[in-house]
Structure 1
Amino acid sequence: MKIVLIGAGNVAGTLGRIFVQKGHQILQVMNRTKEKGEALARELGAGFTAEFSSITPDADLYIVALADRALPELMLKWQLHNRLVVHTAGTVPMAVLQGVSTRCGVLYPLQSLKGTLPASGSVPFLIQAAHADDLDQLEKLVLSIGNSCQSVSDQQRLRMHVSAVWVNNFPNLMFSIAYRLCQEHQLSFELLLPLIRETIMRLEPDNEPVKDPFNWQTGPAMREDHSTIRRHLELMSPHPDWKDLYEHLTEEIISYKSQVLETITQKAE
């Protein structure tokens, strides 16, 4: 497939590298910042332009990987009728591109993309298109690079974006706090890596549907070990914000456990 990338940031760069590796052609990179755009274009063996008016009309797919706030104004700068134009945002409605092309869609990579290719090598996608034929084209593109996809609505994509924040952004903050706690007390953060991997590996389906992760919940909050919880809170006194966060999360685990037990009881009755 012949592809044009609009943007030269993390998302555009990562997707461009993946598509080129899998045999697709990046015809052109368009980016308002010349130095960054030219660098990505050279890497991908593509042409470069800094002007919307100079975007080639000869591609099969145009991927708009710009900041969310830039998308609503895009139709004032660029129209490309009868060509498939998609954006990569998790929270912006597909209709924002209708003024650019009637063949609009979404190709949202459900992965943390920063700097290099994902270590896992896996980039699932949520896809949308205004026309069934274009949706089929997007699905074939994703399958051609060895990844999975799901066709969704705007609301489903938004809800998945929220879920992604819970499983990626928030846990990474927890890892960062643990890293600093280890540093403060001359402890090796690397000793925690097997625990982190084990936590994630427990969620692997192993030929079965993924079950509720709460089935694996352990720790002092799950045991309602208030003595240990108090000692932990005392240790975090130098960091009031982290202490508050620990306390709120502990309360949520205890509350969630209570809800789960109540649901089980109701089903048994």
Structure 2
Amino acid sequence: MNRINQVIILGAGNLATQLAIALNDAGVDILQIYSRTKESASALAQRVNANPVTELNKIQKNADLYIFALSDKALQPVLDQLAIPIGNVVHTAGSIPMDVFENYSENYGVFYPLQTFSKNRKVDFSKIPICIEANSEYFQEDLFQLGERISDNLHEINSEQRKQLHLSAVFTCNFANHMYSIGQKLLAQKEVDFDLLKPLIEETAAKVQEMDPVSAQTGPAVRFDEEIMTKHENELKDIPDFQKLYRFVSESIFKMHSNKK
């Protein structure tokens, strides 16, 4: 039997939006959406049949779970303004330890969906890894039951593991996307469509589903082909930051492959 059926979500950003939609679609009753701005709170609340709230003292005290889907820097100030105790609580952050709630609630934990989110791009939550941590076996069972309603990919991950997972995600997602942005900018200089790179991007992502990333690595940096690399760096002479980045990443690739031999 599910013990978590009524939820209040604090936050209305990208992750909060997609998580609220997924929970609502799974039959979870979203009572309220809190945001500092009325526009954000109302926009998400309307999508999940909830009530928008912009004042912390207006948050109901009868929810089964309070999900803090806030930015890292916003979490502590919001906690400090809330009345104690505040019921069962989780946050959704990758780098914040679970015990941030230690003095605020009897049952607390982490409900961390590992994915990149945008407000208006719906995702298939059933495939998203949800990393769960709780301060008791009883509450962990509750969180796993909640997770099973929206995902087939649940994991028990502690705070230290999650911190490393988040760091790895920054490299594999945020940094990789920044490289896409650089590629788009370079192509735009020559009026070449970025769509030409999309099959390459898709194949690169597909390869690591079947191979480990080190074995999947290709390109001039693996063999440290100075002739090609120098040509590329010369092409970047008018963009010194990109030129330095190209050299640094190339050297990092070569060093990793030299060490594996």
Normalising to structure 2: TM-score of the pair? 0.92
- How big is the shift at 1:2? 1.4
* AA of the residue aligned to 1:84: N
* AA of the residue aligned to 1:141: L
The CA RMSD measured in Å over matched residues stands at 1.7
* AA of the residue aligned to 1:67: S
- Counterpart among 33, 37, 61 of residue 65 in structure 2: 61
Q: Does 1:242 align with 2:242?
A: yes
Higher RCO by CA contacts (8 Å cutoff, separation 6 or greater):
2
Q: Does 1:151 align with 2:156?
A: yes
Runs of 4+, deviation exceeding 4 Å: 118-121
CA contact (8 A) 1:107 1:125 kept: yes
- How big is the shift at 1:118? 4.8
**Could you tell me which residue of structure 1 aligns to residue 181 of structure 2?**
176
Distance in 1 (CA, whole Å) between partners of 2:43 and 2:97 is: 30
Equivalent position SS for 1:4: strand
CA contact (8 A) 1:109 1:126 kept: yes
Summarize the Cα distance change of 1:119–1:103 in structure 2 as closer, same or farther, 3 Å threshold.
closer
CA contact (8 A) 1:79 1:101 kept: no
Distance in 2 (CA, whole Å) between partners of 1:236 and 1:97 is: 48
Equivalent residues, number: 256
**Could you tell me which residue of structure 2 aligns to residue 190 of structure 1?**
195
Distance in 2 (CA, whole Å) between partners of 1:23 and 1:165 is: 32
CA contact (8 A) 2:61 2:86 kept: no
**Could you tell me which residue of structure 1 aligns to residue 227 of structure 2?**
227
* AA of the residue aligned to 2:213: P
Equivalent position SS for 1:5: strand
- How big is the shift at 1:120? 5.6
**Could you tell me which residue of structure 2 aligns to residue 214 of structure 1?**
214
- How big is the shift at 1:234? 1.0
Summarize the Cα distance change of 1:243–1:11 in structure 2 as closer, same or farther, 3 Å threshold.
same
Distance in 1 (CA, whole Å) between partners of 2:249 and 2:228 is: 15
- How big is the shift at 1:27? 1.2
Q: Does 1:16 align with 2:26?
A: no
Provide, for residues 69-111 of structure 1, a one-character-per-residue CA deviation record: whole Å limited to 9, x for no partner.
2222344322454832101111111111122211111111211
Provide, for residues 215-255 of structure 1, a one-character-per-residue CA deviation record: whole Å limited to 9, x for no partner.
01111111332211111111111111111111111111111
Normalising to structure 1: TM-score of the pair? 0.89
**Could you tell me which residue of structure 2 aligns to residue 208 of structure 1?**
none
Distance in 2 (CA, whole Å) between partners of 1:226 and 1:259 is: 19
Q: Does 1:86 align with 2:90?
A: yes
- How big is the shift at 1:119? 4.7
Q: What is the percentage of aligned positions where both structures have the same residue? A: 35
**Could you tell me which residue of structure 2 aligns to residue 199 of structure 1?**
204
Structure 1: state its 5+ residue gaps. 206-210, 262-269
- How big is the shift at 1:57? 2.3
